[in-house]
Amino acid sequence: MVSKQQAAELVRDARFRSGITWAHLAEAIGRPVVWTVAALLGQHPMREDEARRIGEILELDDDVVQALQMQPYRGSGSQQTPTDPTIYRLYEAMDVYGPAIKELIHEEFGDGIMSAINFKVDVTRREDPSGDRVVITLDGKFLDYEW
């Protein structure tokens, strides 16, 4: 039996060795690229047909294909500040702008939250004369608190 975390590392290794892009894998299963990467890194369960297709493309063992289908424990499981620079900067951005975003959500929508369950996310590149920009779109359904 392979855990979801072990499967994620095996997927990363196989993808690196093969030179296949995340976008190619997403296209192969008909899913958005960010969702696909998150699933392959252990944050979503894949349907059997999706997991098998990824297994074929990356030449993964049946144990890994099975692990890709398992229900995950979402999140990192740790509340420590991450040390990876890219992930740290996202934490930093939320630390700086999170309270302002929260206030604006409450002002616009009322008392509630943005869902991370009914959620879409996208990462794109925007050319800019001063250096290309990373554009991250977080698109979550508003869920009001019911008291």
Q: Which of 47, 74, 89, 133 is catalytic?
A: 89
Percent composition of the chain: helix, strand, coil (DSSP 3-state, to 5): 50, 20, 30
Enter the tokens of residue 44: 């979503």
Closest CA to 5 of 54, 55, 58, 77: 77
Whether 78 sits among the annotated catalytic residues: the reply is no
Q: Are residues 94 and 108 in contact, defined by beta-carbon separation less than 8 angstroms?
A: no
- Cα separation, 41 vs 35, in Å, equals 10
Whether 52 sits among the annotated catalytic residues: the reply is no
87's enclosing H/E stretch is helix 85-109
Whether 115 sits among the annotated catalytic residues: the reply is yes
DSSP letter assigned to residue 59? T
Q: Which of 56, 59, 92, 103 is catalytic?
A: 92
Q: Which of 115, 127, 133, 146 is catalytic?
A: 115
Active site residues: 89, 92, 115
